[in-house]
């Protein structure tokens, strides 16, 4: 059966909106086409995800995730590993469509692309090693023909890398603009105690005057109004906060488009009590005002 001649994506009649309203997404397609990458993208969107769930359990799984008390969007992979049970899928999916907003996502790629991917990963085709990879791919495509005909969304991943595929799924299934927001953590820390291991971006604020040398500030933190006022009194403080805020607000959408689901930004001073605390708090406020989902943590603020 020839592939739809529509480039990378074919949307079914029921899937025309830019954002697809859905309770359950079933991912299927040829082996090596990117199903696990797709599943991880749904997981980052907050879906409850399962790989290779037995077909007989799909209706029960759908009901559990759609229960009024535990309602959550779900995504799962059904593919050639099911063997003979795969023949039951068209009937089961038809029944699911009657009571849930369900989408069948079919991934595929050109034969030569799938062969290359198997060669690069050195993994055997699920249909076994008795035949060549090419003949297994062709056999698999025949077995999946009926399921492909049912698909609501067809994606040819031949020319897509993992980031492209994740981006496509985000565009089609994100629930709102808010779903695009990655989880941002803004840390303060003291270099004396080491850089936080989970840091993605680290900024050294030891260029600012140190309140630690002022006796009345020594036992306070950068959250104290008097300490904060002192640190802000230097023009380089305001300029640094403005420039770093602008940089981060510029960078975050690009991280989102590359599929990053969280980002940890750390600001360090000598002891982690004063300068880094004030700067981290100010950056936290700027990012929150810009609409990002952000939390602040002050690792060493109370450490002595």
Is residue 216's pLDDT more than 50?
yes
- Whether the pTM exceeds 0.75: the reply is no
- Taking only the tens place, the pLDDT of each residue in 243-256 is 999 999 999 988 88
Which of 98, 102, 106, 92 is closest to 153 using CA atoms?
106
- Domain-terminating residue out of 121, 154, 179: 179
125 and 47 in a common domain: yes
Residue 69 pLDDT level (bands cut at 50, 70, 90):
low
The tally of domains found in the chain comes to: 2
Torsion of CA 160, 163, 167, 168, to 10 degrees: 20
> Percentage of the chain surpassing pLDDT 90?
50
pLDDT for 52 beyond 80: yes
**Domain housing 235:** 181-298
Residue 68 is part of a domain; what is its CATH number?
3.40.50.300
Quick check: 255 and 181 in contact, CB under 8 A? no
Contact 146, 51 (CB under 8 A): no
Ramachandran bin of 32, using left for φ above 0, alpha for ψ from -120 to 50, beta for the remaining angles: left
Q: Are residues 82 and 174 in the same domain?
A: yes
The H-or-E segment that residue 267 falls in is strand 262-269
Residue 15 has a pLDDT of 35
Residue 68: pLDDT band by 50, 70, 90 thresholds?
low
271 and 289 share one domain: yes
Q: What is the length of the chain?
A: 304
Q: Are residues 242 and 214 in the same domain?
A: yes
Q: Are residues 38 and 78 located together in one domain of the fold? A: yes
**Does any domain span residue 14?**
yes
Does 107 score more than 70 pLDDT?
A: yes
**Can you give the pLDDT at residue 45?**
85
Among 36-45, 139-148, 168-177, where is mean pLDDT lowest? 168-177
| Mean per-residue pLDDT of the chain | 85
| Alpha carbons 105 and 148: distance in angstroms, whole number | 9
pLDDT for the residue 70: 59
Residues 259, 117, single domain; the answer is no
- At residue 3, the pLDDT reads 43
The last residue of one of the domains, among 126, 156, 179, is: 179
Among 132, 147, 179, the domain-final residue is 179
What are the pLDDT digits (tens) for 96-105?
888 888 889 9
- pLDDT tens digits for range 247-300: 999 999 888 877 777 899 999 999 999 999 999 999 999 999 888 889 999 999
What number is the average pLDDT over the span 297-304?
88
In this prediction, residue 175 carries a pLDDT of: 56
156 or 123, which is more confident: 156
Could you read off the pLDDT of 156-205 as tens digits, one per residue? 999 888 888 988 888 788 754 443 468 899 999 999 999 988 899 999 99
pLDDT tens readout for residues 128-143: 767 788 888 998 999 9
pLDDT at 44: 87
- Confidence at residue 145, expressed as pLDDT on a 0 to 100 scale: 92
């Amino acid at each position: 059966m020839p592939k739809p001649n529509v480039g990378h994506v074919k949307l079914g009649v029921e899937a025309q909106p830019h954002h697809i309203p859905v309770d359950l997404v079933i991912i299927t397609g040829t082996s090596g086409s990117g199903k696990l990458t797709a599943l991880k993208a749904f997981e980052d969107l907050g879906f409850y995800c399962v790989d290779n769930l037995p077909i007989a359990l799909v209706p029960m799984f759908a009901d559990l995730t759609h229960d009024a008390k535990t309602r959550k969007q779900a995504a799962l992979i059904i593919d050639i590993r099911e063997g003979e049970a795969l023949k039951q899928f068209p009937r089961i999916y038809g029944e699911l469509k009657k009571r849930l907003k369900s989408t069948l996502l079919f991934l595929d790629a050109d034969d030569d692309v799938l062969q290359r991917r198997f060669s690069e990963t050195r993994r055997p085709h699920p249909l076994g090693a008795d035949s060549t990879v090419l003949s297994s791919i062709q056999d698999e495509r025949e077995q999946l023909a009926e399921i492909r005909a049912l698909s609501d969304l067809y994606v040819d991943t031949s020319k897509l890398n993992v980031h492209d595929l994740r981006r496509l799924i985000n565009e089609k299934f994100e629930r709102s603009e808010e779903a695009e927001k990655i989880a941002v953590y803004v840390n303060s820390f003291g270099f004396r105690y080491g850089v936080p291991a989970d840091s993605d971006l680290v900024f050294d604020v030891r260029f600012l005057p140190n309140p630690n040398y002022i006796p009345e500030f020594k036992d306070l933190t950068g959250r104290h109004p008097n300490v904060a006022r002192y640190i802000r009194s230097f023009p380089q403080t305001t300029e640094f906060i403005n420039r770093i805020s602008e940089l981060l607000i510029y960078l975050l959408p690009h991280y989102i488009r590359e599929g990053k689901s969280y980002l940890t930004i750390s600001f360090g001073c000598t002891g982690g009590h004063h300068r880094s605390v004030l700067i981290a708090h100010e950056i936290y406020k700027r990012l929150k005002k810009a609409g990002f989902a952000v939390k602040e943590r002050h690792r060493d603020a109370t450490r002595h």
